[in-house]
Amino acid sequence: MKTITKVIVTALALGSAVSIGGSASAHDWRGNGWGYGQPGGGGWQGYPGGTCSGQRGYGLERELRFKTSRGLIDYRTAQRIQRDIDRLQWKEQHECREGDWRAVGKINRDYDRIDHWIDEAAGRRWGW
């Protein structure tokens, strides 16, 4: 039941993200000359969503907003998670520009840690 609920919640979050028109973002990285043509960008080297494409951070922000708006994550925890996502996005941007692919791998693992944190925070509140 736990897995099915997570799948449904994720599907709803992705569906709503696709249906909502794009808006300006403080994390808009277009025009910086990096991303899909470099290792780690566009899913290259096995990084889902491309660590250097900026999509990992965007996806985590969408998931966090969704779960917070549904009351699954309390506001203070959401603020701490968002602060970590922001820091990691800045670090991602810097390391990808520098071409430090070892650091990019660590960033990818940190995104995984934050993703787990979001799931744990939502599950603790409802006992999943």
Encode pLDDT of 35-87 as tens digits. 434 444 444 444 445 678 889 999 999 999 999 999 999 999 999 999 999 99
Count up the domains in the chain and report the number: 1
Asked if residue 89 belongs to a domain, the reply is yes
Tell me: pLDDT of 34 over 60. no
Does residue 122 form part of some domain? yes
Cβ contacts of residue 108 below 8 Å, gap of 6+? 40, 47, 51, 56
1 within domain boundaries: no
Q: At 125, is the pLDDT very low, low, confident or very high (cuts 50, 70, 90)? A: low
Task: Look at residue 99 in the predicted model and tell me its pLDDT.
Answer: 87
- Give percent helix, percent strand, percent coil of the chain, each to the nearest 5: 70, 0, 30
Residue 42, in any domain of the structure: no
User: Which of the four pLDDT bands, split at 50, 70 and 90, describes residue 15?
Assistant: low
Eight-class DSSP state of 21: P
- Tell me which residue range forms the domain holding 114: 74-128
Checking if the pLDDT of 98 tops 70, the result is: yes
Q: Among 6-10, 31-35, 56-60, 124-128, whose mean pLDDT is lowest?
A: 31-35
Is residue 102 scored above 60 in pLDDT? yes
Helix axes 55-69, 75-98, angle to 10 degrees: 170
**Residue 21, in any domain of the structure:** no
Radius of gyration of the chain (CA): 15
